[in-house]
Amino acid sequence: MKSNKFTFWKENVGRSWYKFSRNKLSVIGLTLFILLILAAILAPLITPYPKHAGNFVDLITGSQAPDARHLMGTDIYGRDMFSRIIFALRPALLMGIMVLAIVVPIGTILGLIAGYYKGKFGDHIIMRLTDVFLGLPPLILALAVSSILKPTLTNSMIAVSVAFWPWYSRLVYNMVISIKNEHYVISSELLGESRVHILFREILPNCLSPIFTKMTLDFGWVIIMTASLSFVGLGEQPPDPSLGTMVAEGARLLPDKWWVAIYPAFTIVLLVLSLNLIGDGVRDMFTATEE
Amino acid sequence: MKDLDFIKIENVKKYFPIGNDLFVKALDGIDLEINKGETVGLVGESGSGKSTLAYTLMGMYEPTDGKISFKNENIGLKAQKRDLSIKKEMQIVFQDPSGSLNPRRVISNILSRPLLLHKIVPKNELKAKLIELLDSVELPQEYLYKYTPSIGGGEKQLIAIARAIAAHPEFLILDEPTSSLDVSVQGKIINTLMKLKKELNLTYLFITHDMSLMRNVADRIAIMYLGKIMELATTREFFENPLHPYTKMLLSSIPVVSAEEEKLLPKEIKSSGEIPSPVNLPEGCRFITRCPYAKEICETKEPELTEREPGHWSRCYY
């Protein structure tokens, strides 16, 4: 038989990739992002001084400018900046993944429920709560939450999540209230489908493209916010490497020992830029084109 | 023998509140019986309440007043409150097939839902049944793994029809199933519908504003105007001996291509005016604003739907 499930999937994946790859900048972004992920995973193998990622002090080699031995110089404790930056990619990427893994399901489910039962009690509760959280600037909210909690990676994850979930419930809510009046949703209701089926199989698939697009863009925002939290000392604690903390340490040494602040800051820029470029491509991928 | 109480609609009203104690009177007392196996054509201008009637029958709206029964069982309820067994028996085909099929679900998924939900076939026979369904609307089985945005409008409507008949319903509402399609595929859709009706012994409520189409497919025709039925007759009677001025007006507005056809149209009345707002209905007869025969009595008292000849009902004093 010609049209079995395998060719069906192959066709669709191929078409999505074609749409994504038409935007060359997105391909560059994706390549960069994959390289950064690989660097983070293989950190102990590719860094010249893996030990420098932890508690290591060698004051003799402190504050050296970049040279052949230390590509990006060393910080005041004599630790190799390059090694520390590569290791710092790990918590940064982990934050992005974990925050999205917490925020997206919660925000989406709340948005689905509130949108489908628009005007009912549940809608008012969920959306007014969302409004309260949206009313506060996200960074201030995250700062407030993390200053109550102990400064650890897990707790800054929770703090950033608190700031991000309402954006998803608002996004999904607005989509659901228009999608639920589509005739295909009404058809399923008339057929006698369960609400769970209608919410997750009929409505949700039609909300996915903006969710995915927002996810790639938010990944970058989460990294920036995490860095901001650790910049003011509320994220991961030294000696564990963290991009925000490194920028904070280096900022005191500017402009003489510029490499201590500039390289980690530049890494943050690279990470966020690659994710934003991917976001553009993902948006194009999901935009329906006329056949 | 005909089952007389297949679908019975008694004095059904549907008012939509629009604030300030004002209501859009989309349905303002509909009485209609549909017998098993027939095709009832429901005709009217835009805004006459045809689709509202269809949606109320399907349970998308709860009637404000009145009774709807299906085989003597009350179904004047929202769909959520109806029995699954009743939902199985009634299905609807919407006007716009692009909107009625989920663009993110593959066709095999769309078609298998009614089969699984109403347990029509066991899971291992599902695939064969899906191919049979596609076959019944004359589509090849390759369509199972397509998404609807990649197929044509007529094909989409055939898929929508296949979904509607999948659970073997007895009653199908066709809400202008051809009006959003190319003329070239309209004929195919109509032929498929008529073939299916014969094969599956379906009953149709066929909503359209295409009078010449009605002539070919309907057994009886009901004319709706501002939420009420103005005339109800067999198709033959309807075209040969129209009684209500509104019917005559609609018939005279059918486009014709030849002199012979021109002769068949009622002469005395030409289409004029717009349908008034269903919020502030005229006192007396609701057609009075456009009726050339309007007399004094028409201004004060609304005529009843009366049987003027056997099986031929009209809501007019004359």
Taking the C-alpha atoms of residue B79 and residue B10, their distance in angstroms, rounded to an integer, is: 19
pLDDT at residue number A2: 45
CB-based contact B94 A183, cutoff 8 Å = yes
Which among A3, A188, A190 has CB closest to B58? A190
pLDDT at residue number B287: 86
Residue A108 pLDDT grade (very low, low, confident, very high; cuts 50, 70, 90):
very high
All domains of chain A, ordered by start, with CATH? 20-286 (1.10.3720.10)
List the structure tokens of B311.
């099986």
pLDDT at residue number A289: 53
Whether residue B30 lies inside any domain: the answer is yes
pLDDT at residue number A288: 56
Contact status, residue B43 vs residue B251, Cβ threshold 8 Å: no
Number of helical H runs and strand E runs in chain B: 12, 12
Q: For a pLDDT cut of 90, what percent of chain B falls above it?
A: 32
Q: What angle do CA B78, B87, B191 make, to 5 degrees?
A: 120
Taking the C-alpha atoms of residue B77 and residue B68, their distance in angstroms, rounded to an integer, is: 9
Q: What does the mean pLDDT of chain A come to?
A: 88
Whether residue B245 lies inside any domain: the answer is yes
pLDDT reading at A31 higher than 90: yes
The secondary structure of A90-111 as a DSSP string is HHHHHHHHHHHHHHHHHHHHHH
* CATH code, B105: 3.40.50.300
Which among B80, B91, B142 has CB closest to A3? B142
Strand partners, B8: B33, B69
Whether residue B2 lies inside any domain: the answer is no
Residue A51 pLDDT grade (very low, low, confident, very high; cuts 50, 70, 90):
confident
What residues contact A185, with CB distance under 8 A and at least 6 apart? Answer: A179, A198, A202, A203, B102
Whether residue B262 lies inside any domain: the answer is yes
What residues contact A178, with CB distance under 8 A and at least 6 apart? Answer: none
Q: Testing the interface with B: which of A190, A208, A211 to mutate, by most B Cβ within 10 A?
A: A190
**Could you read off the pLDDT of B131-171 as tens digits, one per residue?**
999 999 999 988 998 888 888 889 999 999 999 999 899 99
How many CB atoms sit inside 10 A of residue B251's CB?
A: 18
Q: What is the CA radius of gyration of chain B?
A: 21
**Could you read off the pLDDT of B269-293 as tens digits, one per residue?**
666 677 777 787 877 888 888 888 8
**Could you read off the pLDDT of A190-227 as tens digits, one per residue?**
888 899 999 999 999 999 888 998 999 899 999 999 99
Chain A contact for B103, CB < 8 A? yes
Q: What angle do CA B129, B130, B133 make, to 5 degrees?
A: 85
Whether residue B1 lies inside any domain: the answer is no
B42 phi and psi angles, rounded to 5 deg: -120, 115
Q: Which residues of B touch A3 (CB under 8 A)?
A: 141-142, 144-145
List the structure tokens of B215.
């002539």
Average the pLDDT over each of A9-18, A262-271, B32-41 and give the range with the smallest value.
Answer: A9-18
Contact status, residue B161 vs residue B196, Cβ threshold 8 Å: yes
Number of separate domains in chain B: 1
pLDDT at residue number A126: 94
Looking at chain B, list the stretches that DSSP marks H as alpha helix, in order from N- to C-terminal side. 50-58, 84-89, 97-100, 107-117, 126-136, 153-166, 183-200, 211-217, 235-240, 245-252, 259-264, 296-300
CB-based contact A187 B100, cutoff 8 Å = yes
pLDDT at residue number A1: 43
Contact status, residue B300 vs residue B283, Cβ threshold 8 Å: yes
Full domain range(s) for residue B68: 7-314
Whether residue B21 lies inside any domain: the answer is yes
Query: What is the length of chain A?
Result: 291
List the structure tokens of B18.
């629009």
Strands B90-93 and B171-175: parallel
